[in-house]
Chains A and B, each alone.
Chain A
Amino acid sequence: MVITRYHPVHALLYLAVSFLAVGMIFLSLGAAFVAALEIIVYAGAIIVLFIFVVMMLNLGRETAQQEKEWLKPKVWVAPSILVLVLLIEMIVLLFSDSSQEMQVSVVDPRKVALSLYGEYIIAVELTGFLLMAGIVGAAHIGKHKRPSLHRFLQNGDGGKENATQPPQRESVTNEQTVLHD
């Protein structure tokens, strides 16, 4: 349902439903901590981030109309067939040798925490670096700046603008360059 909606907000709501469902699967797998994290971080933070961006971009009805024009069957049939081939292949691979029943085994959050800060401490620190770089990068990219040209291009643009106003100055500079040459 998420990938077939035309309106971004509807897709986001279905995405939240999908995240909650995956969280319930985690809960039934015996990973309660991960389920809580899934709901808090995905359904709480990432969805809100998407909703803020959709709100700031002011995507409304005409965007949905445009999406409806883009999403023709001619567009989505061929990739869907390719992905369905991949899906069938993977499912056959999964069911070819899985005779044993999947048993539910609760992994203790205590074990997770001990392993996380024991043998994976380097990875935790690297994740901190990654998040820091993400924050700084997002703040830098999202900064409101006017599209700045390189200084060579700026000179070219300035020359063009001057050329539109006084045409004789351009010829003078041309003569000067000719003289210099």
Chain B
Amino acid sequence: MVLTVATVLFALGLIGVLTRKNVIFMLISVEIMLNAAGLAFVAAGSKWQQPDGQIMFLFILAMAAAEVSVGLALVLQIYHQHKTLDVEDMKELKD
């Protein structure tokens, strides 16, 4: 049951990453996906009565915090250089 909730959350985050073009919304969707993964970990740890699931959730949390800080700094820098948040405008690496 909890795994179903986690799966639905993950699918919603994946839809958000695939459809949105704004970078901030894509970061939010990545957060949802990480949260779903952590939910699955905690459910598994609760099923087998092991503390490893919660420990993995702690690591996911730290990773999400670091990822969000770096990602938002990148978003600020991109906005200062491009004046837009559209991912399709960021193609300096193409040529």
Contact = CB atoms under 8 A, between A and B. Distances in A.
A36 to B, nearest CB: 12
B90 interface: no
User: Interface of chain A, helix or strand or loop or mixed?
Assistant: helix
B74 A80 contact: no
B28 A11 contact: yes
Contacts of A49: 68-69, 72
Q: How large is the interface on B (under 10, 10 to 19, 20 to 34, 35 or more residues)?
A: 35 or more
Q: How large is the interface on A (under 10, 10 to 19, 20 to 34, 35 or more residues)?
A: 35 or more
B15 A134 contact: no
A83 B15 contact: yes
A76 B15 contact: yes
Contacts of B69: 49, 134-135, 137-138
A132 B24 CA distance: 23
B25 A3 contact: yes
User: Interface of chain B, helix or strand or loop or mixed?
Assistant: helix
Interface in A11-54: 11-12, 15, 18-19, 22, 25-26, 29-31, 33-34, 37-38, 41-42, 45-46, 49-50, 53-54
Interface string B51-95: 111110111011111111110111111011100010000000000
The 5 closest A-B pairs by CB, nearest first: A134-B66, A3-B16, A79-B18, A142-B73, A76-B19
